[in-house]
Amino acid sequence: MTDLFNALGIADDATGGSLSVRSPIDGAEIGRVRTTDPAAMEGMILRAQEAFRVWREVPAPRRGELVRLLGEELRAAKADLGALVTLEAGKITSEGLGEVQEMIDICDFAVGLSRQLYGLTIASERPGHRMMETWHPMGPCAVISAFNFPVAVWSWNAALALVCGNPVIWKPSEKTPLTAIASMKILGRALARFGDAPEGLVQLAIGGPEIGETLVASSAIPIVSATGSTRMGRIVGPRVAARFGRPILELGGNNAMIVAPSADLDMAVRAIVFSAVGTAGQRCTSLRRLIVHHSVRDELVGRLVKAYGSLRIGDPRAEGTLVGPLIDTASRDRMVAALDRARAEGGTVHGGQVVEGVPGGAYIQPALVEMPAQTGVVCEETFAPILYIMGYETLDEAIALQNAVPQGLSSCIFTLNLREAEAFVSAAGSDCGIANVNIGPSGAEIGGAFGGEKETGGGRESGSDAWRGYMRRQTNTINWSSALPLAQGVRFDI
């Protein structure tokens, strides 16, 4: 651990503070981090505003150069930062590395984007006039992030915000401050190579909800991108909206897969196991509900019970481990309570036993739960590896079940029937922000816009045109004639 902290330059930051950081691997304290004084937040916000005045005038391709350098520094630090993600968030090694790769990918994407922040030209009804749209930087962007993607979510937001001309203030999860500090050190190297970025362009605020709340309340911060539970979004969303700020909300999911009679079950089993137990079920896009056609239900459940029985659960750093710990024992207790509730609501549970992976860590067998119906517990997001299984007879019934939960993040269907596949992604199909065919609901690529509807919050981040959420649109009408005609034929002669 000491070597890792030294390699990432965070050894000094990991001692002497009041915030105790524990590794989910064994529950041991790995650091004591200094939190940000709430009284210091005002100064931080002022520095971000000053940085904005400079950064908004730096040409976007030059801003992209900073993000390009960040991508280079992340490549160099990938192994170390990935190992720290594993230590602090408990992800298995390849998922820790994958998270850093996602940061690199979004940097590459944002560099290209820095030359493509373009708007439309629009035909004017008036002679000698031209209309166009210009996209301008918006102002400081607060990024509030969750523990389960402790660094990638920041990079999705920061890479875009920076090329769009906005400074960033990052409030990471209080459970994962070390990976945030390490990311800032990596960014610091990119900033040093870049040379003339304004001070305060990217700042880190460490602490709990009270620190996040100062960002949420400040009208000097036009964009608040908040990732976390729906509970948090219910507080943050209305507060930002009340001051006419722009919230980008990425909240809880309750993602489903429909398995149709024609599905390739070999592929479905692999997709289900990865989506439901990967990251120990702690992805916003984790598979939580399986809606299986009655004709293939018994076979599929049998194969899943077998596959679940062979999962290696334990130290996420060990070769061959597929399921690491939950973030903490409270999270494990919530899973146990949800399984009890599922039983009380008529469910039959396979797995779900607490296991001694590494003493001190919160290890538990992923659970498959056969449900008689989509009961109350199934409609809630329990952030743990529980997969509820329900049957269906007609596709309409399956789609109705899939959509009958309050969340709307990710969804998928496994079918070889073109009509079913197209129906699922049609206007009358899945109501989620992500709808896949023959791919699980998790593990999205950065090229697409990421986010979901309903209680997932409606925000979009990452690829496609999500960058527009970080800029303000200006409509320009240019009159290059010598007359002054009014639109809609209005006459106003003086």
Note whether 98 binds ligand NAD by CB under 6 A.
no
Place of tokens 């997001």: 381
- Footprint (CB under 6 A) of ligand NAD, residues 211-240: 212-213, 216, 227-229, 232, 235-236
> Taking the complex as a whole, how short is the minimal distance between the CB of residue 461 and ligand NAD, in angstroms?
7
**Residue 176 exposure: Cα atoms within 13 Å on the Cβ side:** 30
> Taking the complex as a whole, how short is the minimal distance between the CB of residue 392 and ligand NAD, in angstroms?
25
Note whether 99 binds ligand NAD by CB under 6 A.
no
Respond yes or no: is residue 210 known to be catalytic: no
Residues 236 and 212: beta-carbon distance below 8 Å: yes
Cα–Cα distance for residue pair 195/436, rounded to 1 Å: 43
Helix, strand, coil percent content, the chain, rounded in steps of 5 = 40, 20, 35
Note whether 409 binds ligand NAD by CB under 6 A.
yes
Residue type, 275: S
Interaction pattern, residues 273-292, with ligand NAD; x per rule: CB under 6 A: -----------x--------
The three-class DSSP label of residue 100 is helix
Of the two residues 226 and 300, which places its CB atom closer to ligand NAD in the complex?
Answer: 226
Residues pairing with 141 in the sheet: 168, 223
Residues 452 and 405: beta-carbon distance below 8 Å: no
Of the two residues 296 and 323, which places its CB atom closer to ligand NAD in the complex?
Answer: 323
Burial status of residue 380 (CB atoms within 10 A of its CB: 0-12, 13-18, 19 or more): middle
Note whether 174 binds ligand NAD by CB under 6 A.
yes
Cα–Cα distance for residue pair 162/290, rounded to 1 Å: 39
The 10 Å CB-count burial string (b at 16+, else e) for 109-141 is bbbebbeebebeeeebeeeebeeeeebebbbbb
Of the two residues 214 and 415, which places its CB atom closer to ligand NAD in the complex?
Answer: 214
Of 1-9, 21-29, 182-190, 248-256: span binding ligand NAD (CB under 6 A) = 248-256
The correct pick among 52, 109, 147, 424 for binding ligand NAD (CB under 6 A) is 147
Of 114-122, 141-149, 416-424, 481-489: span binding ligand NAD (CB under 6 A) = 141-149
- Pull the structure tokens for residue 191: 């900033």
- Footprint (CB under 6 A) of ligand NAD, residues 151-170: none
C-beta neighbour count of 328 within 10 angstroms: 17
Distance, C-alpha 162 to centroid of its chain? 18
> Taking the complex as a whole, how short is the minimal distance between the CB of residue 176 and ligand NAD, in angstroms?
8
Cα–Cα distance for residue pair 460/59, rounded to 1 Å: 25
Note whether 329 binds ligand NAD by CB under 6 A.
no
**Which is it for strands 223-227 and 141-144: parallel, antiparallel or unpaired?**
parallel
- Pull the structure tokens for residue 310: 């062979």
Q: Which entry of 65, 250, 420, 461 is annotated as an active-site residue?
A: 250
Note whether 252 binds ligand NAD by CB under 6 A.
yes
Of the two residues 250 and 315, which places its CB atom closer to ligand NAD in the complex?
Answer: 250
The correct pick among 144, 202, 256, 323 for binding ligand NAD (CB under 6 A) is 144
Residues pairing with 414 in the sheet: 259
Of the two residues 109 and 383, which places its CB atom closer to ligand NAD in the complex?
Answer: 383
> Taking the complex as a whole, how short is the minimal distance between the CB of residue 328 and ligand NAD, in angstroms?
10
The three-class DSSP label of residue 463 is coil
Note whether 102 binds ligand NAD by CB under 6 A.
no
The correct pick among 31, 90, 167, 253 for binding ligand NAD (CB under 6 A) is 253
The correct pick among 13, 65, 95, 381 for binding ligand NAD (CB under 6 A) is 381
- Footprint (CB under 6 A) of ligand NAD, residues 182-211: 208-209
Of the two residues 236 and 368, which places its CB atom closer to ligand NAD in the complex?
Answer: 236
Strand order of the sheet with strand 434-437?
348-351, 367-370, 386-392, 287-293, 255-259, 410-414, 434-437
The correct pick among 149, 363, 467, 470 for binding ligand NAD (CB under 6 A) is 149
Q: Which residues bind ligand NAD (CB under 6 A)?
A: 144-149, 171, 173-174, 208-209, 212-213, 216, 227-229, 232, 235-236, 250-253, 284, 381, 383, 409, 456
Annotated catalytic residues are: 250
